[in-house]
Amino acid sequence: MIEVYASPTANCQRVTIALAVLGLPHRVVAVDRAAGEQRSEAFLAINPAAAVPAIIDRDPALPAPVVLAQSGAILIYLAEKSGRLLPHEGAARALTFQWLMQALTDANAAASLVFMARHGIIPGAGAEVQGFLDARLARFLGDADRVLATRDHLAGELSIADLALYPVVAHRWRDAEVATRHPYLAAWAERIAARPEVAAILPIVR
């Protein structure tokens, strides 16, 4: 059984979606960030960085429980544990890592800044700053859109790269005008959203 410490954020949802798609037994432990639970002594013992998601894998086949944070690291761990959603070697594995990094370090980071600018979290983020951040997110989503014009998934086959990017697209669907500006990305997102495991966790916010 894998314990998943999570809140309703894109970072956490990509982990819970991966667990559902992979069919790995797990239990979600809700962390109320508004109440400061991520800074509690109990949670800091799991992740001293005071951030979700984090997991504890208590599989009895392991020599000791695995405690892990950072959604990208968790996705890689789950894929390797299950033997799915990540090619074992060669160019296909490297390509999957390329798109995983693009999703996490480019698209997700840009989407977070768009959210903060729109909700007044970034001091002094007026219309000019918001426009710059919107354009930056659109550029990264456009990179994915162009690749998805020629294949069904980011790295060819369904992988952790797709599950990493999907929550970003689902949450920013309206802000980024995904359906009109990025048609191939939109079609890809609809295919991911049609999976029952995904639909139960994060439908597209239209």
d(CA 174, CA 5): 28
Indicate the pLDDT class of residue 175, thresholds 50, 70 and 90: confident
- Whether residues 74 and 141 share a domain: the answer is no
- State the pairing for strand pair 54-57/66-69: antiparallel
Q: Could you report the per-residue pLDDT of 63-86, keeping only the tens digit for each?
A: 999 999 999 999 999 999 999 999
- What does pTM read for this prediction? 0.94
- Whether residues 44 and 62 share a domain: the answer is yes
pLDDT of residue 131: 87
Under 8 Å between Cβ of 153 and 99:
no
Count other C-beta atoms under 10 Å from residue 46's C-beta. Answer: 21
d(CA 203, CA 199): 5
- Whether residues 151 and 51 share a domain: the answer is no
Q: Is residue 162 predicted with pLDDT exceeding 90?
A: yes
Give me the domain span that covers residue 191. Answer: 90-199
Under 8 Å between Cβ of 20 and 42:
no
Which of 41, 24, 13, 1 has the alpha carbon at shortest distance from 193? 13
pLDDT of residue 78: 98
- Whether residues 100 and 171 share a domain: the answer is yes
- Structural domain contains residue 49: yes
Strands (E), 39-198: 54-57, 66-69
Under 8 Å between Cβ of 95 and 44:
no
CATH, residue 167: 1.20.1050.10
- Whether residues 21 and 95 share a domain: the answer is no
- Whether residues 65 and 159 share a domain: the answer is no
Domain boundary among the residues 82, 99, 127 is at 82
Domain boundary among the residues 66, 82, 98 is at 82
Q: Could you report the per-residue pLDDT of 18-37, keeping only the tens digit for each?
A: 999 999 999 999 999 999 99
Indicate the pLDDT class of residue 60, thresholds 50, 70 and 90: very high
Task: For the chain, give the mean pLDDT.
Answer: 95
pLDDT of residue 115: 86
d(CA 79, CA 194): 21
Under 8 Å between Cβ of 200 and 19:
no
Q: Could you report the per-residue pLDDT of 106-121, keeping only the tens digit for each?
A: 999 999 999 888 877 8
- Structural domain contains residue 205: no
Residues facing residue 67 across a β-bridge: 56
Indicate the pLDDT class of residue 10, thresholds 50, 70 and 90: very high
Average pLDDT over residues 109-137: 86
- Structural domain contains residue 118: yes
- Whether residues 129 and 37 share a domain: the answer is no
CA-based angle 154:157:161, to the nearest 5?
Answer: 45
Domain boundary among the residues 30, 59, 82 is at 82
pLDDT of residue 122: 82
What's the number of domains the chain is made of?
2
- Percent of the chain at pLDDT above 70? 100
- Whether residues 7 and 78 share a domain: the answer is yes
- Structural domain contains residue 204: no
- Whether residues 100 and 76 share a domain: the answer is no
- Whether residues 130 and 45 share a domain: the answer is no
